[in-house]
Amino acid sequence: MSLTSSLAGTFVFLRKESLLGDVLSHAVFPGVCISFLIAGEKDNFVILIGATITGIIAISLIQYLGNKPKVKQDAALAFVLSTFFALGIVILAYMQNLGISGQSGLETFLFGSAASILLEDFWFFIPAFILVLTLFGLFYKELKLVSFDRKFGIISGISSRTTDMVIGIMALLAIVTGIQAMGVVLMASLMIIPPAIGRTMSVTLKKMIIIAMLTASLGSIAGTYFSSTMTGAPTGPWIVLFLGCIAIIAFIFSPTRGLISRRISALRQETKIRSEHILKSMYKGQEDGKMPEFKGSKDSRGLNSLRTKGLVERVEGRFRLTESGREEGRRLVRLHRLWELYLTKKMGIQADHVHEDADSVEHIISGDVEELLLEVLDHPQKDPHDQEIPYGK
Amino acid sequence: MSDAFWIIGTGFLVAASCGLLGVFLLLKKVTMIGDAISHSVLPGIVIAVMLSGSLSSIWVFIGAGLAGFVAVLIIDLLKNKFKLQNDASLGLTFTVMFALGVVLISSYVGDVHIDQECVLYGEITFLPLSESVVWNGKELGPKTFFNLLGNFVLVGIMLIFFFKEFKVSSFDPGFSALSGIGPHRYHLLLLGLVSLTTVASFEAVGSILVVSFLVGPPLAAYQISRNLSQMLVFTLGFGLLASIFGYFFALKLNSSISASMALFSGIIFALIYLIKGLFLSNWNPFMKRDVVESGFFEP
């Protein structure tokens, strides 16, 4: 179940339509209710049909209404969700008051109860998963393309209606598989949270899917186990809580996009810029004889980084540029002045406005861009402030 | 006062408060936020009930308010610090919070009659039997009714007082910002009122059905209104109709009253939409009267 949902959910997530999963999972509820009404008991086959029919009606309604100018997408989603769900509750209450025997089984569909899943249910779960997997395999390229860049997909000749339908079917299968354990109300989270975790933890689609499926399984197993040890505890919410915890951990500790790694790389970047500025000011100090002063922890971090790189050395308690440090400083000053010249000459910007911009850009100008600049500016000698552009040997 | 009066009245107050606010949510195209808010406040409500022992105390409002606030914080955190996309941040936050609420309910064993079904569709049926407001020794009516009445009055006052501001910031946020009416401020106010209304309606219709009242009547009104004031009036009207029809339908079918009222909110929209489409397809609310009267243009 979790595998199916996370797989289908990944694409829904990528298309930024996660709320659609929420709406759909609420919307299949009346279908489940009606099938209970007809069958009088929990009959997987009838439930499947009922849920699918309602699901298809819901999807079509959302598509239809979502395009109407007087309704638009968000209202269409909210309308379908609430009205369908209300219908389901009306039927449920009706059955409850009539004392129809099957209705307690129906209630488990609201918040999920793993305990109510029987072995024979797997006859449905497994084929459903295989079907989703098949669709996934068949349409992988198209789904990937359309999810990331819809317009390009349309231009490339991939019918967006077909892919929409495929994703819709996958989502529907996932939902129908999952509602018994998760419940209608919380089903959507199984399709939202694992993909979100996967997204945070990886950059490639394949890895994202794998991580999503792993976390979904982990969360479901943990949640199911936990809730079964407590009497009367519904499975759905516990699974969601576990998934939520995993999500928090992932968001903080994730290697590339997590909070901690972001902080670290931001710090690293800051040190780099700071040390390059230090180099520049030391070089300029050599030019005009005014030695710069450094204070504060950020500066000392920059200086230390420069020392480790061998660009600066400590002599008699003061700092001095090494040979390579001087070259690097010269390069930075050159880039700075070249960029300033470029801005004034080619972009028509006033000379007193260019300094700050150059201060930022000088750190990212690479060798080939430098070549281009020299060409475009015709190997100039002076910058807009009439300072010499140092070339060195 | 008969039971029917109290029940329909309470239903109407829910529909009216939600509807009025829902109009602006609809115009701003953020109706689903109403769904998110109504889910997110649940843990706050449950914790407040656990601590205060009553479903209608002031603590419930405070607890839910805090929960709503926490939810907004988390969503913001996810979007800005963790760079998670908008719809996923929303979905993640409110489902997890709702799950938390449900778990708390299931582990809570207490005096107050609060259970999972109550969360879903409230207990408006039991309204006449519930705690009453006593004034001067006379029983005035169910407490929930008066909570909702107060809420409705608050919403009404806010809308009347800030009508211009809400109108401008909903229709044209850019212009409103330029005119000194900060759209963000009023957006937050709107969402705050929605949270409040959700909480007030909790005992009557539960957490999930509120959405029907937030979207159904306003959507129906939108189809046939020429301006904002008309839309608001029609919303009130449709809310009333949904409450009345829902009540009698539920009695006939012996089903949940609150769910029926919610269902009818949606049905009314469907009817209006169909009628407009099938019979009045050439009519629109913005048509000039003299064009119609001249007979040249037949609706």
Q: What is the pLDDT along chain A (393 residues), one digit of tens a residue?
A: 666 666 666 666 666 666 777 888 888 888 888 887 777 666 667 777 788 888 888 888 887 887 777 787 788 888 988 899 888 888 888 877 776 655 566 666 776 666 666 666 666 677 777 777 777 777 777 777 666 766 676 677 666 667 777 777 777 777 777 777 777 777 777 777 877 777 777 777 777 777 777 777 777 777 777 777 766 667 777 778 888 888 888 877 777 777 777 788 888 888 888 888 887 877 777 777 767 777 777 777 777 777 777 777 777 667 777 777 778 878 888 888 888 888 888 888 887 888 888 888 888 888 788 888 888 877 777 777 777 777 764
**Average pLDDT, stretch B204-215?**
83
Contact B116 A257 (CB under 8 A): no
Contact A86 B262 (CB under 8 A): yes
How confident is the model at residue A41, as a pLDDT? 66
Please tell me if residue A17 touches chain B, with a CB cutoff of 8 Å. Answer: yes
How confident is the model at residue A279, as a pLDDT? 79
- Considering CB atoms only, which of B91, B259, B265 is closest to A89? B259
Instruction: Tell whether B177 is covered by a domain.
Output: yes
Nearest chain A alpha carbon to B216: A79
Instruction: Tell whether B228 is covered by a domain.
Output: yes
pLDDT tens digits, one per residue of B262-279: 899 999 999 988 888 777
ipTM of the complex: 0.84
Instruction: Tell whether B115 is covered by a domain.
Output: yes
For the record, the structure tokens of A313 come out as 């050395």
How confident is the model at residue A147, as a pLDDT? 67
Average pLDDT, chain B: 78
Burial class (CB in 10 A: 0-12, 13-18, 19+), B179: middle
How confident is the model at residue B294, as a pLDDT? 57
**Average pLDDT, stretch B44-72?**
76
Q: What is the CATH number of the domain that holds B222?
A: 1.10.3470.10
Q: Exposure string (b/e) for A58-75, b if CB count within 10 Å is 16 or more?
A: bbebbeebbeeeebbbbb
For the record, the structure tokens of A84 come out as 């369908």
Contacts of A107 in chain B (CB under 8 A): 117
Is a pLDDT exceeding 60 seen at residue B290? no
| Residue pair B22/B213 in contact by the 8 Å Cβ criterion | yes
Cβ-Cβ contacts under 8 Å for A45 (sequence gap 6 or more): A124
Q: Which residue has the higher pLDDT, B292 or A83?
A: A83
Number of structural domains found in chain B: 1
Residues 67-86 in A contacting B (C-alpha not used; CB under 8 Å):
70-75, 77-79, 81-83, 85-86
CB count in 10 Å sphere of residue B3: 12
How confident is the model at residue B217, as a pLDDT? 92
Nearest chain B alpha carbon to A233: B106
Chain centre distance of CA B297: 39
How confident is the model at residue B126, as a pLDDT? 60
How confident is the model at residue B239, as a pLDDT? 92
Contacts of B121 in chain A (CB under 8 A): 89, 93
Say what the pTM is: 0.76
Report d(CA B190, CA B168) in Å as an integer: 13
Contact B255 A90 (CB under 8 A): yes
Contacts of B250 in chain A (CB under 8 A): 90, 93
- Considering CB atoms only, which of B223, B256, B266 is closest to A70? B223
Nearest chain A alpha carbon to B86: A16
User: Nearest CA to CA, how far is B81 from chain A (Å)?
Assistant: 7
Contacts of B29 in chain A (CB under 8 A): 72-75
Instruction: Tell whether B223 is covered by a domain.
Output: yes
Burial class (CB in 10 A: 0-12, 13-18, 19+), A234: buried
Instruction: Quote the domain boundaries for residue B252.
Output: 3-123+141-279
Report d(CA B92, CA B97) in Å as an integer: 8
Contact A18 B88 (CB under 8 A): yes
Three-class secondary structure of residue A202 per DSSP = coil
How confident is the model at residue A311, as a pLDDT? 74
- Considering CB atoms only, which of B106, B208, B266 is closest to A234? B106
Contacts of A193 in chain B (CB under 8 A): 92, 95-96
Instruction: Tell whether B153 is covered by a domain.
Output: yes
CB count in 10 Å sphere of residue A266: 10
Instruction: Tell whether B294 is covered by a domain.
Output: no
Which residue in A89, A199, A229, A230 has the most chain B C-beta atoms within 10 A of its own C-beta, making it the best mutation to test that interface?
A89
Q: What is the CA radius of gyration of chain A?
A: 31
Instruction: Say how many CB pairs under 8 Å bridge A and B.
Output: 178
Please tell me if residue A236 touches chain B, with a CB cutoff of 8 Å. Answer: yes
User: Nearest CA to CA, how far is A98 from chain B (Å)?
Assistant: 8
Contact B100 A75 (CB under 8 A): no
Which residue in A70, A90, A243, A248 has the most chain B C-beta atoms within 10 A of its own C-beta, making it the best mutation to test that interface?
A90
Report d(CA B98, CA B232) in Å as an integer: 30
Q: Which residue has the higher pLDDT, B170 or A207?
A: B170
pLDDT tens digits, one per residue of B246-264: 888 888 888 888 888 889 9
Report d(CA A87, CA B30) in Å as an integer: 23
CB count in 10 Å sphere of residue B219: 31
Please tell me if residue A151 touches chain B, with a CB cutoff of 8 Å. Answer: no
Instruction: Tell whether B129 is covered by a domain.
Output: no
- Considering CB atoms only, which of A74, A189, A243 is closest to B29? A74
How confident is the model at residue B237, as a pLDDT? 92
Please tell me if residue A22 touches chain B, with a CB cutoff of 8 Å. Answer: yes
Instruction: Tell whether B285 is covered by a domain.
Output: no
| Direct distance between the N- and C-terminal alpha carbons of chain B, in angstroms, rounded to an integer | 44
Cβ-Cβ contacts under 8 Å for A111 (sequence gap 6 or more): A183, A185, A186, A234, A235, A236, A237, B102, B116
**Average pLDDT, stretch B227-242?**
91
How confident is the model at residue B43, as a pLDDT? 84
Is a pLDDT exceeding 70 seen at residue B120? no
Report d(CA A144, CA A133) in Å as an integer: 14
- Considering CB atoms only, which of B92, B116, B266 is closest to A79? B266
Report d(CA B198, CA B206) in Å as an integer: 8
